[in-house]
Structure 1
Amino acid sequence: MRFPAALALLLSAAPAASEEIITSPAPASVSVSVYRAPDRASDDAMNLDWLQGYALVTEQRTVEIPAGRATVRFEGVAAGLFPESAIVTGLPSGVREKNLDADLLSPRSLYARMFGRPVILRRTDLATQKVREERAVIRSGPDGAAIVQTAAGFEVANCGGLEDEILYPEAPKDLSAKPTLSIETDSPVAHKATLSLSYLAWGFDWQSNYVVQMNADGRTADVSAWVTLASSDSTSFAEAETAVIAGKVNREDSTQGEKPSGGELELTCSLWQLAPPPPPAPPPPPMIMPAPAMEMADIVVTAQRAGAMNAPVTVQQEGLGDLKLYRVPVPVTVAANAQKQVALAQRHGVKMEALYRADVHEDRVGDVRQMLRTRNRKEDGLGLPLPGGPVTVFEPVGSGPDQGSMLLAGEGGLPDRAVGEDVEILLGEATQIVASAEEIGSSKVSRTVALNVSNARPVPVRFEARISSGGTVEGISPRRLARKDGRTIWSVMVPARGKASLTYRIVNSD
């Protein structure tokens, strides 16, 4: 007998029978601040199948607290809640105890928690296909064979030519279909309290996405930036005050392990692994008409990952120590297993230099890459903190009726960049710009290298070589060289369908 189910994590514990149970079904208001995955490079794309960032969730709830001991259950918290991070404020007497476990509303947990309690067997005769229902009591655990006690005695489900289903008239009160956190209180008087619940939860992430549209002059571009927020949690937060945090937080997580899965119940007809049967139980109660049975069928939550409609708002930047906080100015819904995009910034006429670059070590040339370069300053059209993220570049093509059409020119990534820093966006490998180097002479103290670059494009292009060496690099040909970041820089404009060359000497450091 196999009952597949989708899991909903439950952070709660069974309250003592003498305590009153108070349930808060949902928050009155909620705020969600999402932090980037700590081990993901800022210019790498998110792994939507395994989000490793986390969120700080703060909820406001109004609860009627009774006098004496009580258990308050907060339904609808994030399934990835870190139990050790939960803080509840607003209780005059404080929190007596936080009970946290991992009971799941699933076929397996239902079967385990109904041990020794009455259920209904729906039995199908495989020979005649006739169906009947009868009351039974579960007398075994969820592993192995399902031993049940009926009016006829002890039986093993799914044996003897019958196909059995177990129906549960009611679920245990301490199991919930929603992720739930419970606390225990001890109040001297009954009162209404407005509580604040804050906690960290994993399974979130965010990144910036940039779109660069080069203008026809080839020297300026329009830049659009978007914040993409993603959640793999099973809980949605409706109309939440939302923010994302940029920067590196000094935080160490315990290993999360694999994503939760399972919750299935698989019962067999084999008895060889079972312990001796339990002692005979008292006879079942007299037959009475049960309440209408609620069949616990497969619990499957389906949420298709899809981007939300672009909101016509722009996030607002705030300072947060060494970090940057970008707040969405209107409430948005952080939906379960979904993405959302909100505008970060839009700048027109940004000064942008397009060029090709290769790293050269002595006489070995690396790949020639397309690159865009600017400076993050107001006078260059930017002048705002730039959180890292993927970059997509388009350039105009065509003339006449096709004038104004855009073509994908390349994709790359942008690391975090502060105001005033150089911004360099490396794109894909060039196909029409080729660079090569060869040694053309040597002596005991030096080597002479010729570096050649050819341009197959119908327009002139700028090429830059960053030359490194264990010795000293000296230019021989009448080309002006510069130094930057410990490397020798050769920058040259290569004519359309033309070539350029540099001859340099590498002098040994000994």
Structure 2
Amino acid sequence: MRALLALVWIYAATPVAAQSIIVSDAPESVSLTVYRAQDRGDRPIDPNWPRGYALITETRKISIPAGESVIRFEGVAEGMFPESAIVTGLPQGVREKNRDARLLSPSGLVDAFLKREVTLLRTNRSTGVTREQKAIITAGPQGGVILQTAEGYQALRCTGLPERMQFGGVPQNLSAKPTLSVITQSNEATTFKLTLTYMASGFDWQANYVAHAKPGDDKAIGKNKIDLFAWLTLANGGNQSFQNANMMAIAGEPNRERRPEQARPVGGGLSLACWPQQRTHQVPFNPGFIVDIPPPPAPPTPVAMAAYADENIVVTGQRMARAEMAAPVAVMVADQEDLGDLKLYRVPEPVTVNAKGQKQVAMIVKPGAAFDRIYTVRVDEYGRDDGASMPMSILFRSSNRKEKGLGLPMPSGQVMLFEDSNYGPLLAGQSTLSNRAVGDDIEMVVGRSSDVRYAVTRMSETVEKQRFKVDITNARSEPVNVEVEIPFELRGKPKHIAKVDGIPTWKATIAANGEATLYYELELEKN
């Protein structure tokens, strides 16, 4: 019995080896590969919290002592998927991983000290004397902080005196940055480089096209040259910046199973509210929607106006007959590479992606691409046949081939089309471009024309057929190409109306300030 007690005493007296806490506050290098949000379609990036995701790879230099250590990786992405984190390079691997989602902040401190004692400091405004008082936080931080003191229950900063709380220390589970911690073992003290790889939400990217349309060199009807330029726009919705990151973007939709929304780190400022201490009739009326608008400034005095009249205004340069828009100059263009069935766009130089910000890098530079300008309409677009005049749509069409000046994968994105005028480049329209592979047709509808119009009129109807006419008018000073789609089965299958993608389509050239009329008949089903 005595030997057994001695053995128990010796075991209990043996100290447990303490864990060493090693903090890695930032990576030495980082790579950021961003994937588009699935099912976002033509909608823009969500500015509050982008719905895409990223694969992040960090390289960090770590020194650990012999024994067991807790390594804290600070500054990881806010939307990190902790189950995806892979740490390579540790001598004996990783025994345990923990995602620290509580951030050091005013609200985080109050939440961590609930039902615990703090020191309340209050300063007398007249004497400047500060009085210390012990208090226990009984409620908070949402909507206010309730303290229990020797004088009773009080709301923080509702006494009218300057006051603040003093905490005994920072809880170990609070971090100033989103943190991933791992537990590892080492037989000896060592310094090494390790790699941390993980996926994170809160990222997205898209292509933004700037197109500058100019008349074609051959002066053929409807032929245009377009200088096509595209930005790769990357969005970071988290509170972490990535300095000198190797940035890439993936075009396409890899197979990824949907997962529950990742919980973001909690923290932030305190939202304090106090009840008024007067009676209801003593509270002054203060509507929040009334704004005092200052009176407009007084007109300048004659003396001041005379002073300006004596000045000479000099404008350098000269006015040109037709102003040209300077095309964007691409100092750095993303390299397009194949990644299986996906496309990878790699920025050739390290860039900084700021927190809550966007980064733009040149993605596509294709000057002088050949496009056809066509005025189009589908006659059932409005369901009208009363002869009312309606504008036709302006369509720019090309083929994604090298002989057309293109011939490269084109990710989906918004297109802003500019055209030259005597007053400089002006916005002619905006369109959306879907994903286009090499060899695909490219069509951009950029608006409606007030000069090229159409009118559909139902001329007659019997039990077997309906007869229509379409009047096209061109008020422009040059000929235009028009296409009229008739998404119905035509009677008699007229030869002058060809089928394009299975839809009967009439194509014609309308002379300057001219007009044309199309007649067609629809076959009606017999009862």
Instruction: Give the TM-score category using the shorter length.
Output: 0.7 to 0.9
Structure 1 residue 258, shift from structure 2 partner: 9.7
- Partner of 2:110, secondary structure, is helix
Q: Which of 227, 232, 235 does residue 230 from structure 1 map onto?
A: 235
Q: TM-score, normalised by structure 1?
A: 0.79
Partner Cα distance (1:431, 1:227) in 2 = 34
Matched, 1:506 2:522: yes
Structure 1 residue 35, shift from structure 2 partner: 0.9
**One-letter amino acid of the structure 1 residue matched with residue 110 of structure 2:** Y
Partner Cα distance (1:449, 1:141) in 2 = 76
The runs of 5 or more residues in structure 1 that have no matched partner are 1-15, 271-308
Structure 1 residue 77, shift from structure 2 partner: 0.8
Matched, 1:493 2:522: no
- Partner of residue 305, structure 2: none
**One-letter amino acid of the structure 2 residue matched with residue 232 of structure 1:** G
Q: Which of 350, 363, 387 does residue 411 from structure 2 map onto?
A: 387
1:87-486 matches, cutoff 5 A: 87-114=86-113, 119-125=118-124, 128=126, 130-134=128-132, 136=134, 138=136, 140-142=138-140, 146-147=146-147, 156=154, 158=156, 164-168=163-167, 170-217=169-216, 218-256=223-261, 263-265=268-270, 312-361=331-380, 364=383, 368-398=392-422, 405-469=424-488, 471-472=489-490, 474=492, 480-486=496-502
- Partner of 1:468, secondary structure, is coil
Identity level (%): 42
- Partner of residue 63, structure 2: 64
- Partner of residue 387, structure 2: none
Closer, same or farther: CA 231–17 of 1 in aligned 2, 3 Å: farther
Structure 1 residue 183, shift from structure 2 partner: 1.4
Structure 1 residue 105, shift from structure 2 partner: 1.4
Q: Is the 8 A contact 1:38 1:249 kept in 2?
A: no
Cα deviation per residue 1:267-313 (whole Å; 9 max; x = unaligned)? 7899xxxxxxxxxxxxxxxxxxxxxxxxxxxxxxxxxxxxxx98711
Closer, same or farther: CA 69–363 of 1 in aligned 2, 3 Å: closer
Structure 1 residue 473, shift from structure 2 partner: 5.1
- Partner of residue 298, structure 1: none
Closer, same or farther: CA 250–360 of 1 in aligned 2, 3 Å: farther
Closer, same or farther: CA 162–457 of 1 in aligned 2, 3 Å: same
Deviates more, 1:157-166 or 1:44-53: 157-166
- Partner of residue 273, structure 1: none
**One-letter amino acid of the structure 2 residue matched with residue 132 of structure 1:** T
Closer, same or farther: CA 445–92 of 1 in aligned 2, 3 Å: farther
Cα deviation per residue 1:249-274 (whole Å; 9 max; x = unaligned)? 2224335389877644467899xxxx
Partner Cα distance (1:260, 1:429) in 2 = 48
Closer, same or farther: CA 407–73 of 1 in aligned 2, 3 Å: same
Partner Cα distance (2:153, 2:95) in 1 = 45
Structure 1 residue 424, shift from structure 2 partner: 0.5
- Partner of residue 29, structure 1: 29
Task: Give the number of the structure whose alpha-carbon radius of gyration is greater.
Answer: 2
Closer, same or farther: CA 163–347 of 1 in aligned 2, 3 Å: closer
Closer, same or farther: CA 389–362 of 1 in aligned 2, 3 Å: closer
Closer, same or farther: CA 69–364 of 1 in aligned 2, 3 Å: same
Partner Cα distance (1:310, 1:231) in 2 = 25
- Partner of 1:48, secondary structure, is coil
Partner Cα distance (2:242, 2:146) in 1 = 40
Cα deviation per residue 1:160-188 (whole Å; 9 max; x = unaligned)? 77553103364234322212111122334
Cα deviation per residue 1:222-250 (whole Å; 9 max; x = unaligned)? 21122111212111101110011111122
Partner Cα distance (1:324, 1:211) in 2 = 21
Q: Is the 8 A contact 2:115 2:137 kept in 1?
A: yes
Q: Is the 8 A contact 1:362 1:467 kept in 2?
A: no
Partner Cα distance (2:364, 2:273) in 1 = 60
**One-letter amino acid of the structure 2 residue matched with residue 379 of structure 1:** E
Partner Cα distance (2:76, 2:430) in 1 = 38
Partner Cα distance (2:145, 2:224) in 1 = 74
Q: Is the 8 A contact 1:359 1:467 kept in 2?
A: yes
Q: Is the 8 A contact 1:454 1:500 kept in 2?
A: yes
Partner Cα distance (1:362, 1:446) in 2 = 21
**One-letter amino acid of the structure 1 residue matched with residue 354 of structure 2:** A
Q: Is the 8 A contact 2:110 2:137 kept in 1?
A: no
The runs of 5 or more residues in structure 2 that have no matched partner are 1-15, 217-222, 276-327, 385-389
Structure 1 residue 98, shift from structure 2 partner: 1.2
Count of residue correspondences = 445
Partner Cα distance (1:389, 1:113) in 2 = 45
- Partner of 1:312, secondary structure, is coil
- Partner of 2:355, secondary structure, is coil
Partner Cα distance (1:221, 1:230) in 2 = 28
Identify the structure with bigger relative contact order (alpha carbons < 8 Å, sequence gap 6+). 1
Aligned-CA RMSD value: 3.1
- Partner of residue 4, structure 1: none
Q: Is the 8 A contact 1:44 1:413 kept in 2?
A: no
Closer, same or farther: CA 480–321 of 1 in aligned 2, 3 Å: same
Partner Cα distance (1:178, 1:81) in 2 = 12
**One-letter amino acid of the structure 1 residue matched with residue 242 of structure 2:** F
1:50-61 matches, cutoff 5 A: 50-61=49-60
Structure 1 residue 53, shift from structure 2 partner: 1.4
Partner Cα distance (2:263, 2:116) in 1 = 33
Closer, same or farther: CA 160–228 of 1 in aligned 2, 3 Å: closer
Closer, same or farther: CA 81–215 of 1 in aligned 2, 3 Å: same
Partner Cα distance (2:122, 2:329) in 1 = 53
- Partner of 2:512, secondary structure, is coil
Q: Is the 8 A contact 1:387 1:416 kept in 2?
A: yes
Structure 1 residue 326, shift from structure 2 partner: 0.4
Partner Cα distance (1:345, 1:123) in 2 = 62
Deviates more, 1:214-223 or 1:329-338: 214-223
Q: Which structure shows the higher strand fraction?
A: 1
Cα deviation per residue 1:143-201 (whole Å; 9 max; x = unaligned)? 6764456xx78774658775531033642343222121111223344332321111111
Structure 1 residue 87, shift from structure 2 partner: 1.6
Q: TM-score, normalised by structure 2?
A: 0.76
- Partner of residue 82, structure 1: 81
Partner Cα distance (1:310, 1:55) in 2 = 29
Q: Is the 8 A contact 2:89 2:195 kept in 1?
A: yes
